[in-house]
Amino acid sequence: MIRVIQSGLFSTVQDGGRYGYRNIGIPHSGFMDKESAYAANTIVGNDKEESLIENTLKGPTLLFNDNYTISITGGDFNPLINDFQIEMYKSINVKSGDTLKINNTINGARCYVAISGGINVKSIFGSKSFLNNITDPYYLKKGDNIKINNNPNKKMILKNKLQFKLIDTINVFKGPEFDLLNIKSKKQLFKNEFTIRTNSRMAYNLEERLEIGIKSIISSPVLPGTVQLTPSGKIIILHRDCQTSGGYPRILQLDVSSLNFLSQKKINDKIKFCLINL
């Protein structure tokens, strides 16, 4: 078992996500940065979709009440065990009584802590991922006890060759309503840089607007990575906990890798859209 000594800013249990329930309005959820989460699970011998702890901007302090093997990937949050710095993207053996502190981020917005065996919480609609109004709790709190599954068939690797990088270029495909944009708006979309403003697991809002917006549409399906444009020219990029439908034109769609890259962006970071031609 692992005890939460300090909760951090926003730490949740996530796995590969829940699928097959969008028809009743339940989003995919799951890892924001799948590449980093998959690496963490692989290092400790878990299935890549196994549940782990996702931390945003500032992580928790955890007390281990048993011996475990862990790995930490994603953004650099200067992780410490018993106040000694540890290496990321590497399997680490911790002992009962050890304390792991995940500090403020140095680089990136999210990091992942995988524990061999995965986290033992109730699966709801086929997933252990925390989600507001679906799971209780919604995030880890001080005093929480985290149960860990046994992993008798673990095949750990000492170190993963993957290195974390922040990427500014966001690759996109044309969305269903892309051609409703005029030529000037299309040029702005791919020429200009855009600044991340308010963001969450649901969506990223960009500061700069397109000079000419387009009218709303009949409510239509949306997915993580859908880029919406409001009538006022505001750009919204949907992410893992996004709604299943929306009435704003869907002008672009992020590719799989760019959805991971975006999840590591913080407020005031810059991005630039790059159109992929099929």
* Residue at 89 is within a domain: yes
How large is the average pLDDT for residues 218-238?
A: 94
Tokens 């009538």, residue?
Answer: 231
Contact (CB, 8 A) for 127 and 135: no
Task: List beta partners, residue 3.
Answer: 63, 145
Neighbouring CB atoms inside 10 A of 156's CB total: 15
Q: Are residues 132 and 80 in the same domain?
A: yes
Q: Which amino acid is at 126?
A: G
Q: Are residues 92 and 130 in the same domain?
A: yes
Domain endpoint, select from 146, 180, 197: 146
Q: Are residues 92 and 220 in the same domain?
A: no
**Nearest CA-CA partner of 196 in 123, 273, 90, 101:** 273
pLDDT at position 219, please?
A: 84
The predicted-structure confidence for 29-42, as pLDDT tens digits, reads as follows: 999 999 999 999 99
* Residue at 162 is within a domain: no
Mean per-residue pLDDT over the chain, rounded: 92
Q: Are residues 140 and 173 in the same domain?
A: no
Q: How far is the C-alpha of 107 from the C-alpha of 21, rounded, in Å?
A: 34
Tell whether the model's pLDDT for residue 164 goes beyond 70: yes
Tell whether the model's pLDDT for residue 155 goes beyond 80: no
Between residues 145 and 138, which one has the greater pLDDT?
145
Tell whether the model's pLDDT for residue 193 goes beyond 90: yes
The predicted-structure confidence for 62-104, as pLDDT tens digits, reads as follows: 999 999 999 999 999 999 999 999 999 999 999 999 999 999 9
Q: How far is the C-alpha of 31 from the C-alpha of 256, rounded, in Å?
A: 12
Contact (CB, 8 A) for 225 and 237: yes
pLDDT at position 137, please?
A: 80
Between residues 153 and 87, which one has the greater pLDDT?
87
pTM of the model: 0.93
The predicted-structure confidence for 180-192, as pLDDT tens digits, reads as follows: 999 999 999 999 9
Task: List beta partners, residue 273.
Answer: 170
The boundaries of the domain holding residue 186 are: 169-275
* Residue at 153 is within a domain: no
